[in-house]
Amino acid sequence: MDTWTIQKLLSWVTKYLADKGVDSPRLSAELLLGHVLSMARIELYAKFNTVVEPGQLDRLHELVKRAGQHEPVAYLAGETEFYSLALKVTPDCMIPRPETELLVQRAVEFLRTRIGKRLVCDLCTGCGCVAVAIARNHPDARIVATDMSEAALAVAAENVAKHQLHNRIDLLCGDLFDPLVLESDTDKFDLIVCNPPYVSADELEALDKNVRDYEPRLALFAGADGLDLYRRIVEKVDQFLKPDAVLMLEIGYSQGPAVRELLDQSGAFAELKIEKDSHNNDRVAIATRASI
Ligand SMILES: C[S@@+](CC[C@H](N)C(=O)[O-])C[C@H]1O[C@@H](n2cnc3c(N)ncnc32)[C@H](O)[C@@H]1O
């Protein structure tokens, strides 16, 4: 009978997933095998010649089959990596995307230019990836993160605990700014970040099956043109920002001009910038508020 070592399984699963057209087949194979064996990805390489038990092989086989049918690997493995951090994910929250790391990078860079306590708000936090990554990379950031989904916030709470950030991240449930209570101007934010839903009605059909059929609708869709959440954020954001604070929004690749216009028309910002991601697509809108 064949013995299946970790090394042999990684090769076999990678090829199987590649043949089925699954994205990042090697990484996916590592995540699934690591999940079944309760090992970090790096451990798999240290234990290349370990023989995998029949029960574990059966479990892996089932998961690999589902991944081959385009069920998201992050949901099957129950975790993903974002900004080099391991995060729990479930079908209750969107899977963090590498593109969103640009939002975190710009947020951390901005916070480093400020002195003293930095108050940050992360709207639409989902599994908490943006809030957790900012807090882990900026020790003085104190973050309030909100989401409308109780179930997504339960996942965020696990990620906050996993990274021992409960003293610096508060999670609140509600529609956009609704859960925020400002008792005085000192409660206003230095930075508001948000990766809102931004898929338009027309884009629905073009979405990959693993997104359309598995990720929460609440995390994806934002009205006919995909701009509903931006409109609602821009309408209210001014009252939550300090005089020289910044708003950073992740945007869809085609939404740069429309989001720029919305921000411009609000009259609340002195400077607007649309940043491109590593694929040269518009990805983050950065709006600096007018000083008073
Ligand atoms: C695109 S996902 C982003 C999740 C996470 N921040 C990320 O970057 O991966 C959008 C999130 O917004 C939440 N959401 C949708 N509409 C909302 C609203 N009106 N108020 C608050 N949260 C909302 C969804 O539940 C979802 O978790």
125 within ligand 1 shell (Cβ under 6 A): yes
215 within ligand 1 shell (Cβ under 6 A): no
Q: Which residue has the tokens 């939002």?
A: 103
Strand positions, DSSP E, 128-237: 141-147, 169-173, 189-194
- CA dist., res. 191 & res. 198, Å (int): 21
pTM of the model: 0.93
129 within ligand 1 shell (Cβ under 6 A): yes
- Nearest-CA residue for ligand 1 atom 4 is 126
The number of angstroms, rounded, from the C-alpha of 203 to the middle of its chain's C-alpha atoms is 20
Claim to verify: residue 106 and residue 240 sit in the same structural domain: yes
Claim to verify: residue 106 and residue 239 sit in the same structural domain: yes
Q: pLDDT at position 102, please?
A: 98
Burial grade of 77 (CB within 10 A; 0-12, 13-18, 19 or more): buried
Let me know if residue 212 belongs to a domain. yes
Q: DSSP 3-state assignment of 273?
A: strand
Q: How remote is the CA of residue 268 from the centroid of ligand 1, in Å?
A: 24
159 within ligand 1 shell (Cβ under 6 A): no
Claim to verify: residue 252 and residue 189 sit in the same structural domain: yes
Q: How remote is the CA of residue 282 from the centroid of ligand 1, in Å?
A: 20
Q: How remote is the CA of residue 94 from the centroid of ligand 1, in Å?
A: 8
Domain boundary among 26, 42, 77: 77
Claim to verify: residue 114 and residue 253 sit in the same structural domain: yes
Claim to verify: residue 68 and residue 102 sit in the same structural domain: no
Claim to verify: residue 133 and residue 272 sit in the same structural domain: yes
Burial grade of 32 (CB within 10 A; 0-12, 13-18, 19 or more): buried
Q: pLDDT at position 292, please?
A: 53
Q: How remote is the CA of residue 176 from the centroid of ligand 1, in Å?
A: 9
pLDDT tens digits, residue range 93-107? 999 999 999 999 999
- Nearest-CA residue for ligand 1 atom 26 is 219
For residue 103, give the ligand 1 atom closest to its CA. 8
Let me know if residue 82 belongs to a domain. no
60 within ligand 1 shell (Cβ under 6 A): no
Let me know if residue 1 belongs to a domain. no
Average pLDDT estimate for 188-199: 97
The CATH number that applies at residue 24 is 1.10.8.10
Domain boundary among 77, 110, 137: 77
Q: How remote is the CA of residue 195 from the centroid of ligand 1, in Å?
A: 7
Q: pLDDT at position 210, please?
A: 87
Amino acid at site 282:
D
Q: How remote is the CA of residue 229 from the centroid of ligand 1, in Å?
A: 10
Burial grade of 69 (CB within 10 A; 0-12, 13-18, 19 or more): exposed
Claim to verify: residue 145 and residue 282 sit in the same structural domain: yes
Claim to verify: residue 11 and residue 155 sit in the same structural domain: no
Let me know if residue 194 belongs to a domain. yes
Domain boundary among 46, 77, 108: 77
For residue 152, give the ligand 1 atom closest to its CA. 27
The tally of domains found in the chain comes to: 2
Residue 291 has pLDDT above 80, yes or no: no
Q: Which domain holds residue 16?
A: 6-77
What is the side-by-side order of every strand in the sheet holding 282-289? 169-173, 141-147, 118-123, 189-194, 241-250, 282-289, 269-276
Claim to verify: residue 71 and residue 102 sit in the same structural domain: no
The C-alpha angle with vertex 29 and arms to 27 and 35, in degrees rounded to 5, equals 100
Residue 162 and residue 81 in contact, taking contact as beta carbons nearer than 8 Å: no
Mean predicted lDDT score pLDDT of the chain = 95
Q: Which residue has the higher pLDDT, 292 or 68?
A: 68
Claim to verify: residue 273 and residue 198 sit in the same structural domain: yes
1 pLDDT band (50/70/90 cuts)? low
Q: How remote is the CA of residue 125 from the centroid of ligand 1, in Å?
A: 6
- CA dist., res. 158 & res. 137, Å (int): 18
Q: How far apart are the first and last CA of the chain?
A: 76
130 pLDDT band (50/70/90 cuts)? very high
Let me know if residue 86 belongs to a domain. no
- Using alpha carbons, list the distances in angstroms from residue 4 to 17, 20, 27, 50, 126: 18, 21, 19, 8, 38
183 pLDDT band (50/70/90 cuts)? confident
67 within ligand 1 shell (Cβ under 6 A): no
130 within ligand 1 shell (Cβ under 6 A): yes
Output DSSP code: residue 40. Answer: -
29 within ligand 1 shell (Cβ under 6 A): no
Residue 120 and residue 142 in contact, taking contact as beta carbons nearer than 8 Å: yes
Claim to verify: residue 63 and residue 103 sit in the same structural domain: no
184 pLDDT band (50/70/90 cuts)? confident
